[in-house]
Amino acid sequence: MSTLYIIGTPIGNLEDITIRALRVLKEVDVILCEDTRVTKRLLDKYEITGKQLLTYNEERSGVSFEKIIELLEDDKKIAMVSDAGTPGISDPGTLLVEEVRKKNPKVKIESVPGPSALTTALSIAGVPIHDFSFLGFLPHKKGRETLFKEIAVSERTMIFYESPHRILKALVSLEKFLGVKPLKKVTIARELTKIHEEVKNGTPTELLEFFKNNPEKVRGEFVVIV
């Protein structure tokens, strides 16, 4: 039976790969990658060779849905990975899984769980996480302000991802909409699982001042927890 494996891969430290994930990557015929160069570094570290690597992302660049369906119909075993973390969690993957389930429901779709920046950050943040909402990457423009307003009034923990290009703007928006609410604290996790992993918390104003005074730390992807 053809199988599509959805594999979580390291978000930074390449040692954060499961034994099962390595076994599956060795067994499959094709590996769908967000960026083949990134995936090849992981494969090289664990001496996994001879695999057909195909680029895939949700913008339909690289291999098409049709080609992937065709490979699965030929009883190929396919693994899908993103550059870092779990496919489908603010990474390519969701549309492919949906398309495969629609076009060929006989294909077995199997999850090989692994790292996620979301759960990694929450596990070390020290904030209430019994009830939270995950917003992924916030939109660049349309709807962005509305989301910050929702974050400001929410009674549950709110989490989103942000890039180094917009983290300062995000903190400005949090400062604007959270104001001086004493119970609203912000935690920022950056460079998770890497050498310079760091978790900072405080008010939006305090964090904004910190990153403005330490521009060298405005690097990598950020997990923001309110």
133 SS3 class:
strand
DSSP class of 166: T
| Predicted confidence (pLDDT) per residue in 137-178, tens digit | 999 888 899 999 999 999 999 999 999 999 999 999 999 998
**All domains of the chain, ordered by start, with CATH?**
3-112 (3.40.1010.10), 117-225 (3.30.950.10)
In the block, tokens 């992302």 appear at 57
pLDDT of 141 reads 86
DSSP class of 115: -
Distance CA 162, CA 24 (A): 31
In angstroms, the Cα distances linking 31 to 7, 40, 71, 154 are 10, 10, 11, 40
| Predicted confidence (pLDDT) per residue in 72-89, tens digit | 999 999 999 999 999 999
Distance CA 99, CA 115 (A): 24
| Exposed/middle/buried for residue 117 (C-beta within 10 Å: 0-12, 13-18, 19+) | buried
Region 39-68 average pLDDT:
90
pLDDT of 1 reads 75
